[in-house]
Amino acid sequence: MDFLVFSGNSNQKLAQDVVKKLGMRLGDATVTKFGDGEIFVKINESVRGRDVFVIQSTNQPAEAHLMELMIMVDALKRASASSITAVIPYFGYARQDRTVEPRVPITAKLIADLLTTSGIDRLVTMDLHAGQIQGFFDIPVDNLYATPILSEYFINKNMYGKDYVVVSPDAGGVPRARIYAKTLESSLAIIDKRRTGPNVAKAMHVIGDVKDKHVIIIDDMIDTAGTLSQAASTVMEHGAKSVRAAATHGVLSGPAVERILSSPLEEVILCDTIELSKEKSTISKFRVLKTGELFAESILRIFNKESISSLFKYKTEQ
């Protein structure tokens, strides 16, 4: 295969998993910092005339990981790579996709412009927080979905059928939750949530029946876990037998871990789009599912100029 896969420092574990699935090695690059914190990148092998894929999530610290990605792309472009595809499993700043109050930026659009200017020819990501972000780019964007990975986990654990109910933690997540409910042959419920500020939300009540049901709360990401922990407590107060949660991206910032541990959640299932720290990975409530095979397949199809639409089998309804 005449293409190369490189990686920044945000998620080396996932990058190694991807190249292992592809049966190749990770490209040789140095990504480090000068004494004053400036990022330095050097590509240690020839990329002239070759298709290149760069794997880098833009999770915390988002600014450093974003700069690593753009500097690496610039280095590859100046080294005469034929094409550069940015594989960003977790696309940061995606929640800032519109102006919800006066005098605030649309940062997701700014990030799209910065990435395009740096030299990427294509973007591959997973479960964008807002689907319209694809339109912020003037290059092809492939937004993969974790639905088949998470659904397979629940089906293998016999967590489906009439005894289960899929719950969306807010109105915006209903289309996503509806897909899971259909796949798991379960009913659907919604948490009525009021947001009073960034990372501040209050769960109000449940729309739907969760009494004597096993609840699966579905979301695209878990950040501070405020919404999630409140939603879990709310469904238990409404008579649920048990509650667990699943999300693609485990951001887990601030008090997230403490909130999850003190909540009635039995299990939190995440994908490995963001690498958990050693401390978080040892917590018994967390279950991390691998996405490397899905990203490897998408990379291979893009290189071979084949359709990847079948990878969107469970894409969220609009």
* Distance (Å, whole) CA 73 – CA 120: 7
DSSP 222-268: ESS-HHHHHHHHHHHHTT-SEEEEEEEEE---TTHHHHHHTSS-S-E
Catalytic pick among 193, 213, 278, 313: 193
In angstroms, the CA 281 to CA 31 distance is: 25
Helical packing angle, 12-22 and 292-303, nearest 10°: 60
Question: Who's near 41: CB < 8 A, 6+ residues apart?
Answer: 29, 30, 31, 68, 71, 72, 75
Is residue 315 annotated as part of the catalytic site, yes or no?
A: no
Structure letter (DSSP) for residue 213: -
Catalytic residues: 193
